[in-house]
Amino acid sequence: MYPPSSRRRGGVEVGDGGHVLDLETAVKDGILGGCNGGGLVVLHGVVSKERSDLEKMIEALDSIEVPSVFICPISLEPMQDPVTLCTGQTYEKVNILKWFSLGHLTCPTTMQELWDDTVTPNATLYQLIYSWFSQKYLDMKKRSEDVQGRAIELLETLKKVKGQARVRTLKELRQLVIAHESAKKTVVDNGGVSLISSLLGPFTTHAVGSESIAILVNLDLNSSAKKNLLQSTKVSLVVDVLNEGTLDSKINCTKLIQRLMEEDDFDSETVSSLSLLVGLLRLVKDKKHPDGVLSGLRLLKLICSHESVRCSVVSVGVVPLLVDLLPHLNSESLEMALYILESISSVPEGLAALKNNRNAIPNIVKLVMKVSESCTQYALSILWAVCKLCPEECAALAVDAGVAAKLLLVIQSGCNPVLKQRSAELLKLCSLNYTATIFINKCKLTRTIQ
């Protein structure tokens, strides 16, 4: 029922030379030895504090690969109080006692009937488990202390060096911060956010700026740190890197600006810079890099949630860019692109840009009832706004693009009532310029649908 050889935790079974580890071999060869060069550490007088220590170590080492003989076949977790049955199988005490309490008189692994329900503490296995976890815990702690110490050293070095030495120091610190959670906390606790933020300014090189931004996006930034980074000189540098940096640097810039926009008293004028918006459009335009497109659209969506900035977004040419991109975007990017277009359709400049783009209505009609209900909602909102603005021209264009069949699908679907109502209103608007017969023929609807 629970074949011991197949028990795994976080990966493969651990043994010398890749072999499955068994208790007898481990004791004989010292494979599972403790702190003194691999020999077995025998611990006398097992007490509650020791068991508590073992529990804490197991919890701290949750993601580490554990030898299969340490795993309880019932819970598939490391044993803290191993006991052995008369069949020779070993289990965590609390698990096997629960098995018995359910009325089972068999061994869960072999399903043999038990001739004796006595459970015998397996002190040798316990000592092996405790020794193994102790060594692993000490190793982990040492590595953590090394990382923290190195992070502090790098912060101190940053205060002294300039030029390429500063870039090299920042690169190493970035690698530490990305690879180790303890390094992130150490940097924050030792004034690293303030120090790295101080490196951003009008005379900062792009190399230093890119590395600094890459570190900052991986740290916890409090309100004070965000306000400090919102200084115009620092924002200008971030925008410069967004326009001229590598793809990774550009993505980091969008992430940092998003973080800064989380502030309650954020001033939307900060993101109305044409240079910022142009940089975002360049990032979104590069279809070869989907991660960049997605990152750019995320920030554009957030920016467009501020009504005062929408005219600026329209002025840099977002409408023709997104309209042309619509057929090529994945579902996540598509939803954001439609959200952006729907947002800017609320301002006269955005609505005029949509009306004047001949591909806008056909491309948007195709997306009704195609991706998600949210996409359908945004698409219908855009179509309603444009067709209402100029029914003669735009409604006719929507009809030629097949909007009627799409709207009927919405009306007959399980969509929410608001979408159905909007679809009915749009269908009526599109039919105003035609007689019933001409409209039906033009829409190529079947008699059943009529």
pLDDT digits (tens, 9 = 90+) for 98-109: 999 998 889 998
Do the domain assignments include residue 258? no
In order of 21, 72, 89, 95, 126, the CA distances from 109 in angstroms are 18, 10, 7, 13, 20
Q: Which two tokens stand for residue 39?
A: 């020999």
- Mean pLDDT, residues 351-380 taken together: 91
Q: Is residue 394 a part of any domain in this protein?
A: no
For the record, the structure tokens of 209 come out as 């700026």
Tell me what the mean pLDDT of segment 278-288 comes to: 91
pLDDT mean over 343-361: 94
pLDDT tens digit sequence for 41-83: 444 444 566 667 777 777 766 657 888 889 999 999 999 999 9
How far is the C-alpha of 384 from the C-alpha of 373, rounded, in Å? 16
Query: Is residue 172 predicted with pLDDT exceeding 80?
Result: yes
Helical spans, DSSP H, in 206-347: 206-216, 223-229, 232-244, 247-260, 274-285, 290-304, 310-315, 318-325, 331-344
Instruction: Round the average pLDDT of the chain to a whole number and report it.
Output: 83
Q: Which two tokens stand for residue 365?
A: 């009609």
45: CATH? 3.30.40.10
Distance from CA of residue 441 to its chain's centroid? 49
Q: Does 248 score more than 70 pLDDT?
A: yes
| 10, part of any domain | yes
Q: Mean pLDDT throughout 332-346?
A: 94
Domain-located, residue 55: yes
Across the range 377-385, mean pLDDT stands at: 93
Using DSSP, state whether 31 is helix, strand or coil. coil
pLDDT of residue 443: 66
Residue 353 in tokens:
């840009």
Domain that residue 131 falls in: 4-139
Sort 239 into a burial class: Cβ within 10 Å, 0-12 / 13-18 / 19+. buried
Indicate the pLDDT class of residue 437, thresholds 50, 70 and 90.
low
- The whole model's pTM is what? 0.66
Q: What is the radius of gyration, based on Cα positions, of the chain?
A: 32
- Res 408: pLDDT: 84
368 has a pLDDT exceeding 80:
yes
Q: Is residue 400 part of a domain?
A: no
333 pLDDT above the threshold of 60: yes
> What is the average pLDDT across 273-278?
91
Neighbours of 217 (CB within 10 A): 20
Q: Which has more pLDDT, 313 or 25?
A: 313
Work out the angle at residue 409's Cα, subtended by the Cα atoms of residues 369 and 383, and round it to the nearest 5 degrees: 60
pLDDT surpassing 50 at residue 9: no
Q: What is the pLDDT of residue 45?
A: 46
CA distance 447 to 73: 66
Give the number of domains in the chain. Answer: 1
The answer to whether position 60 is within a domain reads yes
User: Between 298 and 54, whose confidence is greater?
Assistant: 298
Using N-to-C axis directions, what is the helix angle for 274-285 and 318-325, rounded to 10°?
Answer: 20
Cα separation, 356 vs 350, in Å, equals 10
Amino acid at the residue 329 = L
